[in-house]
Structure 1
Amino acid sequence: MERTVTVSQQGSFAHVLQTFALSLLVSFIGMLIGAMVIPPSLVTLFIIVEVGMLIAALIIRIRGKNIGYGFLYTFTAISGVTLYPVIMVYGGLLGANVVSGAFFATAAIFGGLAFYAHRSQRDFSFLGGFLFAGTIGLVLMSVIGMFVNFGSMTNLVWSMVGILIFSGWVLYDVAQYRDGVAAEEVPLAALNIYLDFINLFLYILRFIASIAGFNRN
C-alpha cells in the first residue's frame, strides 16, 4: 500500500524498529511479572484478554484507524505474561540453555531477513495472500491441537511450516515499512513486527522440541 505522507508526518523505519525493541522489553517485563506476581490460575484470563486485543486491533485496522502506544505496550506486557508458562514448559523439556539459544537464533534469523528486505528493495507484496492463508492454517492447527495429540512428525512439519510463514511475514512487513509509515501507524507497524518475531521464536522452539522428541523415540 502506497503511503503519501510528508517527512514531518512520517515515522521512519528506525522509529518503527525502536518501538519494536521497546515492545520486546515490555514483553520481557511482562514475563517477569508473570513469573513473580501472576498466579497460574489467572493465565487463562490473560490469554483471553490477549486474543481479544488482537481481534480489536484487527477491527480497528479494518476500519482504517490505528492503535496507540498505550494499546501496543499493554498488549506486549500481557503477551509476556502469557509467554512465561510456555517458555517454562520448553525450558523444562529442552533446558534453559537451549531456549536461550533458540532466542538468539531467532534474533539472528530475524535480523538477517530484515536486513535483506530493507537493503534489497525487493517487493514482497506478492507473499501477502499466501502468508495470510498459511497463518489461518496455523491457527486452525493450533485449535485442533487443543483436542488432538499430534505425533513428532506432524509437529516437526507444522513447526517448519510455521518458521517459513513467519520468516515470510518478516520479509513482507519490513518491505512494507522500510520507507517509513505515517506517524500514527508506528504502533501498529511495531505490533506486526513484534508478532512476527515472537511467533518465529515459538515455532523455532517447537521445531527443536520435535527433534528432541525424535531423539527420545
Structure 2
Amino acid sequence: MIDVVQVNRRSMFQKVLVTFVISLLFATVGMYAGKFVPPVLMFPLAVAEFVMIFAAFLLRRSKSVGYTFVYVFTFLSGITTYPIVSHYISAAGAQVVLMAFGSTFGIFAVMGLIGAVTKKDLSFLSTILFVALLALVFISIFNIFSPLTSGGMLAYSVIGSIVFSLYILFDFNQMKHHHITEEMVPLLTLSLYLDFINLFINILQILGIWQSKD
C-alpha cells in the first residue's frame, strides 16, 4: 500500500512538472506573438491576465482551474511579457535576457530540489510569503504613480527575487508533504509558472539596471 501511494505521488509530481514545461512553451509562443500585438492592446491584456489570476485564487478551493485555463493564461502572460523582454534586449542586449533566463532556470531547479527533499513541512512560510507578496504588489502599484529611482527599483527587484525563490522552495515542499490529486495539477502548475515568470522578470530587471550602470 505504501509503495502504491508513493508511486501515485511521484506520478502526480511528474505530471505537474510536465504540465509546467508545457505552460512555458505556451508562454514562449505568446511572447513571439507579442511582437505582432499593438502596444495599445497590452494594457487590456494585462488586465485580463490579472482577472484570471484573481479568478484562479477564488476557484482554488473548488479545484475548478483546468488545463485550458492554465494554457490560455500562460499564452497571455507571454504576450504581456514581450514588451519587458524587448525593452531589455534593446537597452542591454540579448545576452542579458539569456543570462536572466539561465539564472532563473538554475535557481528554480536548485530551490525546487531543496524544497522536494526537505523533510520538514514548510507550511509555516505561507503567511510570511503572502505578506511579502502583498508588499511587493503595493510597491508596484505605488511605482505606477511615483516611479522608483534606479536604486529603489534594484532593491525592489532583489527582494522580489528572494520572495519568488522562496515561493519555489515552498511550493515544491508542499507538493512533497501534501497529497496531490489530478484536479490539483493545473493549479499547482499555475503556481509554479507564476513563481518562475516573476523570478525571471525580477532577475532581468536586476541585470538590466546593473548593466546600465557599467
TM (norm. structure 2) is 0.91
The 5 Å alignment of 1:7-156 reads 12-35=12-35, 37-61=36-60, 63-156=61-154
Unaligned ranges ≥5, structure 1: none
Is the contact between residue 11 and residue 186 of structure 1 (CA under 8 Å) also seen in structure 2?
A: no
Paired letter, 2:57: L
The 3-state SS of whatever aligns with 2:34 is helix
The CA distance in 2 between the partners of 1:206 and 1:83, in whole Å, is 12
Tell me how far 1:25 sits from its aligned partner.
0.3
Q: 1:30 to 1:59 in 2, by over 3 A?
A: same
Tell me how far 1:6 sits from its aligned partner.
9.8
The 3-state SS of whatever aligns with 1:181 is coil
Q: 1:168 to 1:8 in 2, by over 3 A?
A: closer
Structure 1 vs Structure 2 CA RMSD: 1.9
Is the contact between residue 11 and residue 182 of structure 1 (CA under 8 Å) also seen in structure 2?
A: no
Tell me how far 1:122 sits from its aligned partner.
2.9
The 3-state SS of whatever aligns with 1:125 is coil
Tell me how far 1:21 sits from its aligned partner.
0.5
The 3-state SS of whatever aligns with 2:124 is helix
The CA distance in 1 between the partners of 2:152 and 2:203, in whole Å, is 15
The CA distance in 1 between the partners of 2:13 and 2:6, in whole Å, is 14
Show the counterpart of 2:190: 191
The CA distance in 2 between the partners of 1:7 and 1:55, in whole Å, is 33
The CA distance in 2 between the partners of 1:81 and 1:176, in whole Å, is 30
Instruction: Note the alpha carbon deviations across 1:105-164, whole angstroms, 9 max, x for none.
Output: 110011011111112333221211110000000001110111112112211211111011
**Aligned length in residues:** 209
Is the contact between residue 10 and residue 182 of structure 1 (CA under 8 Å) also seen in structure 2?
A: no
TM (norm. structure 1) is 0.90
Is the contact between residue 138 and residue 162 of structure 1 (CA under 8 Å) also seen in structure 2?
A: yes
Paired letter, 2:203: I
The CA distance in 1 between the partners of 2:185 and 2:10, in whole Å, is 9
Is the contact between residue 114 and residue 170 of structure 1 (CA under 8 Å) also seen in structure 2?
A: yes
Moved more, 42-51 or 130-139: 42-51
The CA distance in 2 between the partners of 1:90 and 1:130, in whole Å, is 31
Unaligned ranges ≥5, structure 2: none
